Structure 1
Amino acid sequence: MKTWARHSKRSGFTLVELLVTLTLLSVIALTAMPLAEIASIRWKEQELRQSLRQIRVALDQYKKASDTGLIPKAVGESGYPPSLEVLTAPIASSKEVVQVPLILMRSLPRDPFNTDPTLPAASTWALRSYASPVNDPRPGSDVFDVHSQSQKKGLNGIQYDQW
C-alpha cells in the first residue's frame, strides 16, 4: 500500500492553479499594453519637437545669412529658402570673406508621424510660405515654416499640425 500511496500523489500544478496564473498574467499584460503605446507616442512626440526645432533653426540661419548678404537674394524675395532640400545642400557664399560653402543641416529629419517610408524626408512635412497667413498656412515660393501633416491630437490635446 505504501507504493500505491506514493504514486497517487503526483507533483505538478492543478487546473485551477494554472487558470489563476494565466488570469493574473493576462491582467498584467492588459495593463502594460496601454503604457507601452503611450511610451511610443511620447517618443514620437519628442522626435517631432526635435525635428521641428532643427528645421526652424536652419530656416532662421538661412534667413539671417540672406539678410547679411552671405546668400544672394533678388529684390522682393523674402530671404527664406525656396525648398527644404536647400538646407542640406552646400550654399555658395556671395561674399569673398567666406570661402567655405554654407551647409545648414547634414540631413533633413522626417516627420515621425508620417507612415509612408517611400516618401523623401522633405515631402513628409507641410510647408508654409512667408506670404501665407498664420491661420491658413500654405506652401508658396519659399519655406517660412514647417509643421506635421498629421491630423491626430497629441497627448497634450493639440493637433500635431498646430505644433
Structure 2
Amino acid sequence: MRHAPAWRLDQGLSLIELVIALAILALLASLVLPMAEVTVTRTKELELRRVLRDIRTALDDYKADYDKAVAAKKIIANLADSGYPKQLEDLIEGRDWGGLYALPKKYLRRIPRDPFDRNLNGWGMRSYLDDPDSDAWGGEDVYDVYSRIDKTALDGSYYRDW
C-alpha cells in the first residue's frame, strides 16, 4: 500500500495558526494607525505654516508696492490709509499702483484655505490698528491673518497663535 507524501497531508492552516496570524496582524495594525494619524496631522501643520507664510508674504509685498508707489508719486498717500489691502480679495484682484506697473499686479492666485478648517469659516484677520493678540477684526485693512481653529498643535502651541 502506498502512502501519500507528507507534504500532501498538510494542505491548510489549522484554526490556531489562523487565529495567531490574525492576532499578529491586528497588533501591527494597532501600532501603525496612530502613527498614520500623527503623519496626517503633521502634514496639515506643514501646509498651514506654508499657507500662512504665503498670505503674509503677499500682504508684505502689497504694502511694499504701496510704499514704492507713494515714493514714486504715482499715488497720493492718505493719512488714514496704512497701505495694507482693505480685504484679502484685493490680493487676488491686484492693482497697477497708479501706473507703477503696466498691468495690475496680483499677489495671490486664490485665497488658500486653512487645512484644519472643515467648516470653511475662513481666516481670522487683524488690521494694522488692532492689538497683536486681538480676535476681532477692526475692518480697516488686513495686516495679518491667523487660523481660527482652537486646537493644539503637536508641539503644544495653538494653531491660532501661529
- Residue 75 of structure 1 aligns with an amino acid whose one-letter code is L
Do residues 91 (structure 1) and 95 (structure 2) align?
A: yes
Q: 1:80 to 1:4 in 2, by over 3 A?
A: closer
Alpha-carbon RMSD across the aligned residues, in angstroms, is 2.2
Q: CA deviation at 1:135?
A: 2.6
Show CA shifts across 1:73-123 (max 9, x none).
53321111011111011313213x52221111112211001002xx4xxx5
The number of equivalent residue pairs is 156
CA apart distance, 1:158: 0.3
**What is residue 133 of structure 2 aligned with on the other side?**
135
Does 1:80 pair with 2:84?
yes
SS of residue in 2 equivalent to 1:88: helix
Q: Quick one: distance in 1 between partners of 2:142 and 2:48?
A: 18
Q: Deviation at 1:144?
A: 0.5
Q: Structure 2: which amino acid aligns with 1:103? A: K
- Structure 2, unaligned runs of 5 or more: none
Query: Partners of 2:57 and 2:50 in 1: how far apart?
Result: 11
Name the SS for the 2:142 alignment partner: coil
Residues 118-137 of structure 1: CA distance to partner in whole angstroms, max 9, x if unpaired?
Answer: x4xxx511111111111324
Structure 2 partner of 1:28:
28
Residues 66 and 97 of structure 2 are in contact (CA less than 8 Å); yes or no, is this contact kept in structure 1?
Answer: no
Q: 1:10-67 CA distances to partner (integer Å, 9 max, x unpaired)?
A: 5210111001000000000000000100000011001001000000000001111112
TM-score (norm 2): 0.86
User: Where do 4+ consecutive residues of structure 1 move more than 4 Å?
Assistant: 1-6, 70-73
- Which of 130-139 and 62-71 deviates more? 62-71
Structure 1 residue matching 2:54: 3-state secondary structure = helix
State the Cα distance separating 1:148 from its structure 2 match. Answer: 0.5
Distance 1:5 1:134 in 2: 82
2:144 paired residue number: 145
Mapping of 1:1-163 within 5 angstroms? 9-69=9-69, 72=75, 73-95=77-99, 97-116=100-119, 119=120, 124-140=122-138, 141-163=140-162
The one-letter code of the counterpart of 1:76 is A
| Structure 1, unaligned runs of 5 or more | none
User: What is the one-letter code of the residue matched to 2:144?
Assistant: D
Task: Letter of the 1:136 partner, please give it.
Answer: S
2:24 alignment partner AA? L
Please, which moves more after superposition, 104-113 or 70-79? 70-79
